[in-house]
Structure 1
Amino acid sequence: MTVDWVVFDFGDVICGPNGLYPKIAERLGVEVTEFERHYWEQRPAFDLGTADETRYWTAVAAGLGLTIDEREAIALNELDMEGWLTAERADTVQLIHELGEAGVRLALLSNAPSAHGRNVVASPWGQRFAHTVFSADVKVMKPSVEIYRLIEQKTGATPERHFFLDDRQPNVDAARAAGWRSELFTDAATARTQLVELGVL
Protein backbone atom coordinates (compact mmCIF):
# COMPACT_ATOMS: atom_id res chain seq x y z
CA MET A 1 0.00 0.00 0.00
CA THR A 2 1.36 3.39 -1.00
CA VAL A 3 2.21 5.98 1.64
CA ASP A 4 0.60 9.28 0.68
CA TRP A 5 1.45 11.30 3.79
CA VAL A 6 4.52 11.45 6.01
CA VAL A 7 3.60 12.77 9.45
CA PHE A 8 6.22 14.11 11.85
CA ASP A 9 6.16 14.71 15.57
CA PHE A 10 7.86 17.94 16.69
CA GLY A 11 9.63 17.69 20.06
CA ASP A 12 12.83 15.62 20.03
CA VAL A 13 12.22 14.74 16.39
CA ILE A 14 12.54 18.06 14.55
CA CYS A 15 13.75 20.17 17.47
CA GLY A 16 15.03 19.45 20.94
CA PRO A 17 15.99 18.83 23.55
CA ASN A 18 15.32 22.35 24.75
CA GLY A 19 18.69 24.04 25.20
CA LEU A 20 17.46 26.84 27.45
CA TYR A 21 16.40 24.77 30.46
CA PRO A 22 19.55 25.83 32.34
CA LYS A 23 18.84 29.50 31.59
CA ILE A 24 15.23 29.19 32.74
CA ALA A 25 16.28 27.32 35.89
CA GLU A 26 18.88 29.99 36.64
CA ARG A 27 16.28 32.71 36.18
CA LEU A 28 14.09 30.93 38.73
CA GLY A 29 17.04 30.28 41.03
CA VAL A 30 16.64 26.50 41.10
CA GLU A 31 18.53 23.41 39.97
CA VAL A 32 17.94 22.30 36.39
CA THR A 33 16.86 18.78 37.36
CA GLU A 34 14.31 20.12 39.83
CA PHE A 35 13.01 22.60 37.27
CA GLU A 36 12.63 19.93 34.60
CA ARG A 37 10.71 17.67 36.96
CA HIS A 38 8.05 20.31 37.61
CA TYR A 39 8.13 21.47 33.98
CA TRP A 40 7.06 18.03 32.79
CA GLU A 41 4.72 17.27 35.70
CA GLN A 42 2.62 20.32 34.83
CA ARG A 43 2.98 20.01 31.07
CA PRO A 44 -0.04 17.83 30.19
CA ALA A 45 -2.55 20.57 31.06
CA PHE A 46 -0.62 23.09 28.96
CA ASP A 47 -0.32 20.73 26.00
CA LEU A 48 -3.99 19.82 26.30
CA GLY A 49 -5.02 23.46 26.28
CA THR A 50 -6.74 23.38 29.66
CA ALA A 51 -4.11 25.73 31.12
CA ASP A 52 -2.83 28.88 29.44
CA GLU A 53 0.78 30.04 29.69
CA THR A 54 0.20 32.05 32.87
CA ARG A 55 -1.54 29.21 34.67
CA TYR A 56 1.06 26.70 33.52
CA TRP A 57 4.14 28.68 34.54
CA THR A 58 2.51 29.76 37.79
CA ALA A 59 1.96 26.07 38.59
CA VAL A 60 5.57 25.21 37.69
CA ALA A 61 6.80 28.01 39.94
CA ALA A 62 4.48 26.98 42.77
CA GLY A 63 5.85 23.45 42.62
CA LEU A 64 9.28 24.96 43.11
CA GLY A 65 8.05 26.99 46.09
CA LEU A 66 8.02 30.24 44.12
CA THR A 67 5.45 32.88 43.24
CA ILE A 68 5.54 34.67 39.88
CA ASP A 69 3.30 37.24 38.21
CA GLU A 70 1.78 37.17 34.73
CA ARG A 71 4.61 39.19 33.19
CA GLU A 72 7.19 36.70 34.43
CA ALA A 73 5.08 33.77 33.24
CA ILE A 74 4.97 35.26 29.74
CA ALA A 75 8.72 35.86 29.80
CA LEU A 76 9.38 32.27 30.85
CA ASN A 77 7.12 31.01 28.09
CA GLU A 78 9.00 33.07 25.51
CA LEU A 79 12.26 31.55 26.70
CA ASP A 80 10.75 28.09 26.51
CA MET A 81 9.59 28.57 22.92
CA GLU A 82 12.95 30.01 21.95
CA GLY A 83 14.69 27.04 23.55
CA TRP A 84 12.74 24.58 21.44
CA LEU A 85 12.92 26.40 18.13
CA THR A 86 16.64 27.15 18.39
CA ALA A 87 17.37 23.48 19.08
CA GLU A 88 16.72 22.40 15.50
CA ARG A 89 18.01 19.01 14.49
CA ALA A 90 19.71 19.96 11.26
CA ASP A 91 19.55 16.45 9.81
CA THR A 92 15.80 16.18 10.41
CA VAL A 93 15.20 19.65 8.97
CA GLN A 94 17.25 18.65 5.93
CA LEU A 95 15.10 15.51 5.55
CA ILE A 96 11.92 17.60 5.71
CA HIS A 97 13.20 19.88 2.96
CA GLU A 98 14.29 16.87 0.89
CA LEU A 99 10.83 15.35 1.19
CA GLY A 100 9.20 18.65 0.32
CA GLU A 101 11.38 19.13 -2.75
CA ALA A 102 10.50 15.58 -3.84
CA GLY A 103 6.81 16.45 -3.71
CA VAL A 104 6.05 14.27 -0.69
CA ARG A 105 3.03 15.48 1.24
CA LEU A 106 3.84 16.31 4.85
CA ALA A 107 1.83 16.78 8.03
CA LEU A 108 2.80 17.57 11.61
CA LEU A 109 1.20 16.08 14.72
CA SER A 110 2.41 17.34 18.08
CA ASN A 111 1.43 17.50 21.72
CA ALA A 112 2.13 21.20 22.14
CA PRO A 113 0.59 24.48 23.36
CA SER A 114 -1.11 26.69 20.80
CA ALA A 115 1.49 29.47 20.88
CA HIS A 116 4.28 26.97 20.32
CA GLY A 117 2.34 25.60 17.37
CA ARG A 118 2.02 29.02 15.77
CA ASN A 119 5.76 29.55 16.03
CA VAL A 120 6.44 26.15 14.50
CA VAL A 121 4.17 26.86 11.53
CA ALA A 122 5.88 30.21 10.96
CA SER A 123 9.36 28.66 10.76
CA PRO A 124 10.96 28.07 7.33
CA TRP A 125 10.70 24.30 7.64
CA GLY A 126 7.26 24.55 9.25
CA GLN A 127 5.90 25.92 6.01
CA ARG A 128 6.67 22.57 4.38
CA PHE A 129 3.73 21.01 6.22
CA ALA A 130 0.42 21.07 4.39
CA HIS A 131 -1.46 20.18 7.57
CA THR A 132 -0.72 20.55 11.27
CA VAL A 133 -2.48 19.42 14.42
CA PHE A 134 -1.38 20.70 17.83
CA SER A 135 -2.97 19.12 20.87
CA ALA A 136 -3.87 22.35 22.66
CA ASP A 137 -5.85 23.54 19.64
CA VAL A 138 -8.03 20.42 19.54
CA LYS A 139 -8.09 19.54 23.26
CA VAL A 140 -6.90 15.99 22.70
CA MET A 141 -3.42 14.50 22.96
CA LYS A 142 -1.43 11.58 21.66
CA PRO A 143 -1.74 8.69 22.22
CA SER A 144 -5.53 9.14 21.97
CA VAL A 145 -6.77 7.65 18.70
CA GLU A 146 -8.94 10.72 18.17
CA ILE A 147 -5.98 12.94 17.36
CA TYR A 148 -4.84 10.59 14.59
CA ARG A 149 -8.34 10.71 13.12
CA LEU A 150 -8.14 14.51 13.10
CA ILE A 151 -5.09 14.30 10.84
CA GLU A 152 -6.97 11.91 8.56
CA GLN A 153 -9.82 14.41 8.31
CA LYS A 154 -7.33 16.99 7.08
CA THR A 155 -5.46 14.76 4.65
CA GLY A 156 -8.50 12.91 3.35
CA ALA A 157 -6.40 9.74 3.23
CA THR A 158 -7.15 6.34 4.73
CA PRO A 159 -5.17 5.32 7.85
CA GLU A 160 -2.72 2.98 6.14
CA ARG A 161 -1.57 5.74 3.79
CA HIS A 162 0.03 7.67 6.66
CA PHE A 163 3.58 7.08 7.90
CA PHE A 164 4.28 8.58 11.32
CA LEU A 165 7.59 9.32 13.05
CA ASP A 166 7.51 9.93 16.81
CA ASP A 167 10.14 9.59 19.54
CA ARG A 168 7.77 8.02 22.08
CA GLN A 169 6.80 4.38 21.77
CA PRO A 170 3.24 4.78 23.17
CA ASN A 171 2.49 7.27 20.38
CA VAL A 172 3.93 4.92 17.77
CA ASP A 173 1.89 2.04 19.17
CA ALA A 174 -1.27 4.16 19.12
CA ALA A 175 -0.66 5.18 15.52
CA ARG A 176 -0.26 1.54 14.52
CA ALA A 177 -3.44 0.64 16.42
CA ALA A 178 -5.19 3.39 14.42
CA GLY A 179 -4.09 1.67 11.22
CA TRP A 180 -1.13 3.90 10.40
CA ARG A 181 2.37 2.83 9.53
CA SER A 182 4.67 4.19 12.20
CA GLU A 183 8.22 3.89 13.47
CA LEU A 184 10.01 5.09 16.57
CA PHE A 185 12.21 8.03 15.64
CA THR A 186 15.83 7.66 16.68
CA ASP A 187 17.65 9.77 14.10
CA ALA A 188 17.11 11.28 10.66
CA ALA A 189 19.39 8.80 8.89
CA THR A 190 17.32 5.85 10.11
CA ALA A 191 14.10 7.66 9.23
CA ARG A 192 15.39 8.33 5.73
CA THR A 193 16.24 4.65 5.27
CA GLN A 194 12.72 3.72 6.37
CA LEU A 195 11.24 6.19 3.89
CA VAL A 196 13.37 4.77 1.08
CA GLU A 197 12.24 1.24 1.97
CA LEU A 198 8.63 2.41 1.79
CA GLY A 199 9.24 3.91 -1.64
CA VAL A 200 8.56 7.44 -0.43
CA LEU A 201 12.05 8.64 -1.41
Structure 2
Amino acid sequence: MPIEAVIFDIGNVLIEWRPERYFDRMIGADRRRALFDAVDLHEMMNRIDAGADFAAEVERTALAHPGWTAEIRHFRDNWCALAQPEIPHSVRLLHALRARGVPVFALSNFGAANFPLSAAQFPFLDAFDQRYISGEMAMRKPDPEIYAAVEADCAIPPERLLFTDDRADNIEAARARGWQTHRFDSPAGFAQCLVDAGLLSREEAR
Protein backbone atom coordinates (compact mmCIF):
# COMPACT_ATOMS: atom_id res chain seq x y z
CA MET A 1 0.00 0.00 0.00
CA PRO A 2 1.54 3.37 -1.00
CA ILE A 3 2.58 5.57 1.90
CA GLU A 4 1.01 9.04 2.03
CA ALA A 5 2.72 10.37 5.18
CA VAL A 6 5.64 9.52 7.44
CA ILE A 7 5.17 9.99 11.17
CA PHE A 8 8.18 10.52 13.44
CA ASP A 9 8.45 10.02 17.15
CA ILE A 10 10.83 12.65 18.57
CA GLY A 11 12.60 11.31 21.66
CA ASN A 12 15.40 8.90 20.69
CA VAL A 13 14.45 9.29 17.04
CA LEU A 14 15.22 12.95 16.31
CA ILE A 15 16.69 14.07 19.65
CA GLU A 16 18.25 11.89 22.28
CA TRP A 17 16.38 11.34 25.53
CA ARG A 18 18.84 9.88 28.05
CA PRO A 19 18.30 11.69 31.37
CA GLU A 20 20.45 9.12 33.14
CA ARG A 21 23.45 10.25 31.09
CA TYR A 22 22.85 13.88 32.07
CA PHE A 23 22.74 13.01 35.77
CA ASP A 24 25.83 10.80 35.46
CA ARG A 25 27.69 13.94 34.40
CA MET A 26 26.09 16.17 37.00
CA ILE A 27 26.12 14.01 40.16
CA GLY A 28 28.02 10.84 39.25
CA ALA A 29 26.76 7.40 38.32
CA ASP A 30 26.36 6.09 41.88
CA ARG A 31 24.25 9.01 43.06
CA ARG A 32 22.28 8.95 39.79
CA ARG A 33 21.39 5.30 40.37
CA ALA A 34 20.26 6.16 43.88
CA LEU A 35 18.13 9.02 42.53
CA PHE A 36 16.39 6.89 39.91
CA ASP A 37 15.85 4.11 42.45
CA ALA A 38 14.28 6.52 44.95
CA VAL A 39 12.15 8.57 42.52
CA ASP A 40 10.14 7.31 39.55
CA LEU A 41 11.23 10.12 37.26
CA HIS A 42 10.01 8.40 34.14
CA GLU A 43 6.53 8.21 35.65
CA MET A 44 6.77 11.92 36.46
CA MET A 45 7.47 12.55 32.78
CA ASN A 46 4.59 10.26 31.80
CA ARG A 47 2.22 12.48 33.78
CA ILE A 48 3.61 15.57 32.06
CA ASP A 49 3.32 13.88 28.67
CA ALA A 50 -0.33 13.08 29.46
CA GLY A 51 -1.13 16.73 30.12
CA ALA A 52 0.04 17.60 33.64
CA ASP A 53 1.57 21.05 33.97
CA PHE A 54 5.32 20.75 33.41
CA ALA A 55 6.66 23.15 36.06
CA ALA A 56 4.01 22.27 38.63
CA GLU A 57 4.48 18.52 38.26
CA VAL A 58 8.26 18.76 38.57
CA GLU A 59 7.87 20.93 41.67
CA ARG A 60 5.29 18.60 43.20
CA THR A 61 7.60 15.64 42.69
CA ALA A 62 10.59 17.57 44.02
CA LEU A 63 8.78 18.54 47.21
CA ALA A 64 7.57 14.96 47.70
CA HIS A 65 11.21 13.78 47.79
CA PRO A 66 13.07 16.22 50.05
CA GLY A 67 16.34 14.30 49.76
CA TRP A 68 16.35 14.84 46.00
CA THR A 69 14.63 18.19 45.56
CA ALA A 70 17.52 19.98 43.85
CA GLU A 71 18.18 17.10 41.45
CA ILE A 72 14.54 16.73 40.43
CA ARG A 73 14.26 20.44 39.67
CA HIS A 74 16.87 19.96 36.94
CA PHE A 75 14.07 18.62 34.76
CA ARG A 76 12.41 22.04 34.90
CA ASP A 77 15.45 24.29 35.15
CA ASN A 78 17.78 22.54 32.71
CA TRP A 79 15.36 20.91 30.26
CA CYS A 80 17.34 21.79 27.15
CA ALA A 81 20.48 20.19 28.58
CA LEU A 82 18.54 17.03 29.44
CA ALA A 83 16.70 16.56 26.12
CA GLN A 84 19.61 16.64 23.67
CA PRO A 85 21.55 16.36 21.37
CA GLU A 86 19.86 16.02 18.01
CA ILE A 87 20.38 12.84 15.98
CA PRO A 88 21.83 14.30 12.76
CA HIS A 89 21.10 11.49 10.31
CA SER A 90 17.46 11.35 11.42
CA VAL A 91 17.17 15.10 10.92
CA ARG A 92 18.59 14.72 7.41
CA LEU A 93 15.95 12.08 6.66
CA LEU A 94 13.22 14.45 7.83
CA HIS A 95 14.47 17.18 5.53
CA ALA A 96 14.96 14.76 2.62
CA LEU A 97 11.35 13.61 2.87
CA ARG A 98 10.14 17.20 2.89
CA ALA A 99 12.29 17.96 -0.14
CA ARG A 100 10.62 15.04 -1.90
CA GLY A 101 7.19 16.45 -1.04
CA VAL A 102 6.32 13.63 1.36
CA PRO A 103 4.11 14.89 4.21
CA VAL A 104 5.84 14.43 7.56
CA PHE A 105 4.12 14.46 10.94
CA ALA A 106 5.34 14.22 14.52
CA LEU A 107 3.59 12.00 17.07
CA SER A 108 5.41 12.35 20.36
CA ASN A 109 4.92 11.91 24.07
CA PHE A 110 6.01 15.38 25.10
CA GLY A 111 4.75 17.95 27.58
CA ALA A 112 2.81 20.93 26.30
CA ALA A 113 5.12 23.42 28.07
CA ASN A 114 8.49 21.76 27.57
CA PHE A 115 8.00 20.99 23.88
CA PRO A 116 8.30 24.68 22.91
CA LEU A 117 11.62 24.80 24.78
CA SER A 118 12.96 21.99 22.62
CA ALA A 119 11.46 23.48 19.45
CA ALA A 120 13.30 26.73 20.15
CA GLN A 121 16.52 24.78 20.64
CA PHE A 122 16.03 22.56 17.57
CA PRO A 123 14.36 24.48 14.71
CA PHE A 124 13.76 21.28 12.73
CA LEU A 125 10.96 20.49 15.19
CA ASP A 126 9.00 23.22 13.41
CA ALA A 127 9.48 21.50 10.04
CA PHE A 128 6.55 19.09 10.33
CA ASP A 129 3.40 19.42 8.28
CA GLN A 130 1.50 18.50 11.43
CA ARG A 131 2.53 17.86 15.04
CA TYR A 132 0.67 15.69 17.49
CA ILE A 133 2.10 16.43 20.93
CA SER A 134 0.65 14.29 23.70
CA GLY A 135 0.65 16.96 26.39
CA GLU A 136 -1.35 19.29 24.15
CA MET A 137 -3.80 16.49 23.35
CA ALA A 138 -4.11 15.21 26.96
CA MET A 139 -3.53 11.66 25.75
CA ARG A 140 -0.37 9.69 25.19
CA LYS A 141 1.08 6.71 23.38
CA PRO A 142 0.45 3.81 23.44
CA ASP A 143 -3.23 4.56 24.24
CA PRO A 144 -5.31 3.78 21.13
CA GLU A 145 -7.17 7.10 21.39
CA ILE A 146 -4.13 9.14 20.37
CA TYR A 147 -3.66 7.12 17.18
CA ALA A 148 -7.37 7.46 16.43
CA ALA A 149 -7.08 11.23 16.91
CA VAL A 150 -4.20 11.38 14.40
CA GLU A 151 -6.21 9.39 11.86
CA ALA A 152 -9.26 11.62 12.29
CA ASP A 153 -7.23 14.80 11.94
CA CYS A 154 -5.07 13.88 8.95
CA ALA A 155 -7.80 11.90 7.14
CA ILE A 156 -5.24 9.46 5.71
CA PRO A 157 -6.13 5.76 5.81
CA PRO A 158 -4.12 3.98 8.54
CA GLU A 159 -2.50 1.59 6.10
CA ARG A 160 -1.00 4.58 4.23
CA LEU A 161 0.79 5.93 7.31
CA LEU A 162 4.38 4.94 8.10
CA PHE A 163 5.28 5.45 11.75
CA THR A 164 8.69 5.14 13.41
CA ASP A 165 9.20 5.01 17.18
CA ASP A 166 11.88 3.52 19.40
CA ARG A 167 9.43 1.89 21.83
CA ALA A 168 7.91 -1.49 21.07
CA ASP A 169 4.63 -0.75 22.86
CA ASN A 170 4.06 2.38 20.80
CA ILE A 171 4.83 0.51 17.59
CA GLU A 172 2.52 -2.38 18.48
CA ALA A 173 -0.35 0.00 19.23
CA ALA A 174 0.07 1.67 15.83
CA ARG A 175 0.35 -1.66 14.04
CA ALA A 176 -2.85 -2.84 15.72
CA ARG A 177 -4.67 0.04 14.01
CA GLY A 178 -3.27 -0.94 10.61
CA TRP A 179 -0.44 1.57 10.39
CA GLN A 180 2.78 0.61 8.65
CA THR A 181 5.56 0.75 11.23
CA HIS A 182 9.30 0.72 11.73
CA ARG A 183 10.81 0.09 15.16
CA PHE A 184 13.58 2.68 15.32
CA ASP A 185 16.95 1.43 16.55
CA SER A 186 19.25 3.53 14.35
CA PRO A 187 18.97 6.22 11.68
CA ALA A 188 20.60 3.85 9.20
CA GLY A 189 17.87 1.27 9.76
CA PHE A 190 15.14 3.83 9.23
CA ALA A 191 16.93 5.17 6.15
CA GLN A 192 16.84 1.68 4.66
CA CYS A 193 13.13 1.43 5.49
CA LEU A 194 12.46 4.66 3.59
CA VAL A 195 14.50 3.43 0.61
CA ASP A 196 12.67 0.09 0.61
CA ALA A 197 9.34 1.95 0.69
CA GLY A 198 10.36 3.97 -2.38
CA LEU A 199 10.17 7.26 -0.49
CA LEU A 200 13.87 8.16 -0.81
CA SER A 201 16.74 7.11 -3.02
CA ARG A 202 19.87 5.68 -1.40
CA GLU A 203 21.64 8.96 -2.03
CA GLU A 204 18.83 10.97 -0.46
CA ALA A 205 18.78 8.66 2.57
CA ARG A 206 22.50 8.97 3.33
TM-score normalised according to structure 1 size:
0.84
Q: Does 1:13 align with 2:13?
A: yes
**Aligned AA (2:51):** G
Secondary structure at the counterpart of residue 115 of structure 1: coil
Counterparts of 1:76 and 1:129, CA distance in 2? 26
Counterpart contact for 2:98–2:104, Cα < 8 Å: yes
Counterpart contact for 2:49–2:110, Cα < 8 Å: yes
The Cα RMSD (Å) is 2.3
Q: Aligned-pair distance for 1:148?
A: 1.0
**Structure 1 portions without partners, runs of 5+:** none
Counterparts of 1:64 and 1:166, CA distance in 2? 35
Counterparts of 1:100 and 1:21, CA distance in 2? 35
Q: Aligned-pair distance for 1:22?
A: 3.5
* CA 1:63–1:170: 2 relative to 1, 3 Å: same
TM-score normalised according to structure 2 size:
0.83
Secondary structure at the counterpart of residue 78 of structure 2: helix
Counterpart contact for 2:112–2:133, Cα < 8 Å: yes
- Structure 1 stretch 9-18 or stretch 168-177: which is displaced more? 9-18
Counterpart contact for 2:4–2:103, Cα < 8 Å: yes
Deviations 1:1-40 (A, max 9, x none): 11011000011111113453345657xxx82223345321
* CA 1:36–1:61: 2 relative to 1, 3 Å: farther
* CA 1:32–1:83: 2 relative to 1, 3 Å: same
Q: Does 1:136 align with 2:135?
A: yes
Q: Does 1:169 align with 2:168?
A: yes
**Structure 2 portions without partners, runs of 5+:** 201-206
Counterparts of 1:56 and 1:149, CA distance in 2? 29
Within 5 Å, give how 1:20-169 maps onto structure 2: 20-22=22-24, 25=27, 31-37=31-37, 38=39, 39-60=41-62, 62-63=64-65, 65-67=67-69, 73=73, 76-84=75-83, 86-122=84-120, 123-169=122-168
- Structure 1 stretch 14-23 or stretch 128-137: which is displaced more? 14-23
Counterparts of 1:138 and 1:174, CA distance in 2? 17
* CA 1:65–1:194: 2 relative to 1, 3 Å: same
Deviations 1:147-185 (A, max 9, x none): 112222332211111100000001100000011001110
* CA 1:83–1:52: 2 relative to 1, 3 Å: closer
Counterparts of 1:194 and 1:114, CA distance in 2? 30
Counterpart contact for 2:54–2:112, Cα < 8 Å: no
